[in-house]
A and B are shown apart, each in its own frame.
Chain A
């Protein structure tokens, strides 16, 4: 086969370009850098929560959102762009149980993997924060989140994403998240995720009659910073028990890591096919002969 110099250089150029693009995308599948800082988390104990809704007011105040009106416990509410957390009452086999919901701040968050500008970002401390100057408002984080937690301000010309970030700013100042600090019933506990898990399992062992023996958030979606204890099975209090144990970004890992090989091998294959089928095309002289 004869490949002249020019065509060879062309092929080299294409391969080099794809290598450059490819290596960039390949590094995508690597996990974030490890560091000595331990992931922080919050343990919510539904057996202790009395449903005072105080955390909702503290959260609204801390994040400059509108404070909730009088709360009717018979209506089940969801978080939205005006409230990052809600506490709902659930009628269960053990009577009324209150459940706080908010962003779970996953260990390996789908939203941060989905985000193409890294506006959604998992900090070393465990908070999944949203950065205003980076976000372009594509809402892919909302599509990807298994808990449907990022909320978008549809009626703003410069919309923001609202979701719990475990009061990242307060944490930076060495303080506890607002809801934890103000909870009168000690239903919320802030600490490193490791300590909290130990604490949760300790409570279950010491009070087997009080708790359903499972820590929600220990393994859900690859583990989350928010963890739940409950007196009843978790499906009774409306938590999504169908969430997979693996992290959600693992679902796209295969695809992401196949990009670079395709980017490199396909152009080479195409060039090969081109050279191989060139004979299909009659040269100009042959064309003249035919006419």
Chain B
């Protein structure tokens, strides 16, 4: 088993030493030719080239977006789906810091880091999709606030939430730098950041659903309803947690050497707890789907091609994983939990893509299909995010225990 002996330095020391430390941390640790690197490096290079073309020849040169379908994969997957996947961060901090469920504390830091990186990179994806990205400054500096716009709300809540996530994660950065005073200060801000962050999350998760409220005539009635904001929040709870489960089981394999025995011991019990929350969340969601379905009298659409597609989504990727979660919770089966969480994530993806792309302008003659460039850019963003994640996890106390000088367990 490898041991992690990170160099440490006191920030109070001379500057020269600090820079030396930071410089040494910038260098890669571990092998360079891993399968992950071999796959991701060519993709990232191709993606960067495509981004260059996008900025020199316009969005239309690399995407299949049209006048009828103005939002494609970059919004529908990177932003709309990605934000739901990152919902685990607000759910977990709620459980750990607000409900004081100490059991989940070992995974809260890695989840917050994941959430922060996800938001950071989805904002980058958003910038790629903007036709005139420099004018985004208008939204921030208050050169005409479009306060009646749902997107304005989402944008601001997005931005502030990133700040809240950074604050929630900042004690780990302070521990890495061995900055004791700063850590005490930063961890004092955690509760405020958590309360602020949860509020912002609830509003922007629902806001993403509310974005599509005005597209009433364009989205298929099986997916469009006035309760989309609520549905988006509820599904972000179990979507986010499923991501935590999946991500947790991958990183506990990849970064096994970082975990202390205590964490490993608790890991299964944490997973069971999360599975239970998912199962209940999905039950609520499914129940709401049924109520909306009956209320809107959608029966007539059920046996049409779009109706089959809807049943595929709801039965295959909501009901089935829900039952699996219930089963795994009763039988204490870790494998089933993992399968269920993958199905759930696919279901969230399907749902978000349906609302934003597939059931959007469903009767249009020419359907939008993303170009290969759009896929490569999406992959590029995910890969760069994973690179940054790996860089941070191998350096800062995210999965491993905090240094000994840390007394409280924030």
Chain A residues within CB distance 8 Å of chain B: 10, 13-14, 17-18, 21, 24-25, 27-29, 78, 80-81, 110, 113-119, 133-140, 142-144, 146, 148, 151-159, 240, 242-244, 248-249, 251-252, 254-256, 259, 262-263, 266-267, 270-271, 273-274, 277-278, 280-282, 284
Contact = CB atoms under 8 A, between A and B. Distances in A.
B214 A113 contact: yes
**Closest A-B pairs by Cβ, 10 of them:** A137-B131, A154-B60, A116-B152, A139-B70, A136-B135, A142-B70, A144-B214, A28-B147, A137-B132, A28-B148
Contacts of A133: 135
Contacts of B63: 154
B133 A255 contact: no
Contacts of B283: none
Given A110-B214, A116-B151, A252-B214, A259 B203 contact: yes
B206 A255 contact: yes
A249 B152 CA distance: 14
Contacts of A114: 149-151, 214
Given A136-B139, A267-B195, A280-B100, A159 B151 contact: no
Query: What bracket does the count of chain B residues touching chain A fall in?
Result: 35 or more
Contact of B145 (A118, A156, A252): A118
A92 B184 CA distance: 77
Contacts, number: 190
Interface in B84-100: 94, 97-100
28 contacts: A10-B191, A29-B148, A110-B214, A114-B150, A117-B139, A119-B144, A134-B135, A134-B143, A136-B132, A136-B134, A136-B136, A137-B132, A138-B130, A138-B131, A139-B70, A143-B214, A144-B214, A144-B215, A146-B214, A146-B218, A152-B67, A154-B59, A249-B214, A263-B199, A263-B203, A270-B198, A274-B97, A277-B98
Contacts of B408: 284
Interface of B: 55-61, 63, 65, 67-68, 70-71, 94, 97-102, 129-136, 138-139, 143-153, 155-156, 191-192, 194-196, 198-199, 202-203, 206-207, 210-218, 226, 229, 408
Nearest to A132: B132
Given A143-B218, A266-B198, 5 more contacts: A81-B67, A143-B215, A148-B68, A274-B97, A274-B195
Nearest to B215: A143
A146 B217 contact: yes
A259 B229 CA distance: 11
A251 B97 CA distance: 36
A171 B21 CA distance: 66
A245 B192 CA distance: 45
Nearest to B67: A151
Nearest to B154: A116
A274 B191 contact: yes
Contact of A153 (B58, B143, B156): B58
Nearest to B361: A148
B337 to A, nearest CB: 24
Given A10-B191, A118-B146, A267-B195, A146 B100 contact: no
B68 to A, nearest CB: 6
Contacts of B194: 270
A271 B195 contact: yes
- Most B CB within 10 A of own CB, among A110, A270, A274: A270
Contact of B133 (A113, A136, A143, A248): A136
Contacts of A248: 214, 216
A110 B68 CA distance: 16
A13 B196 CA distance: 11
Given A136-B139, A270-B98, A116 B149 contact: yes
A161 B53 CA distance: 21
Contacts of B98: 270, 273-274, 277
Nearest to A279: B100
A237 B364 CA distance: 18
Contacts of B129: 138
Given A137-B133, A252-B210, A280-B100, A116 B146 contact: yes
Contacts of A284: 408
B67 A137 contact: no
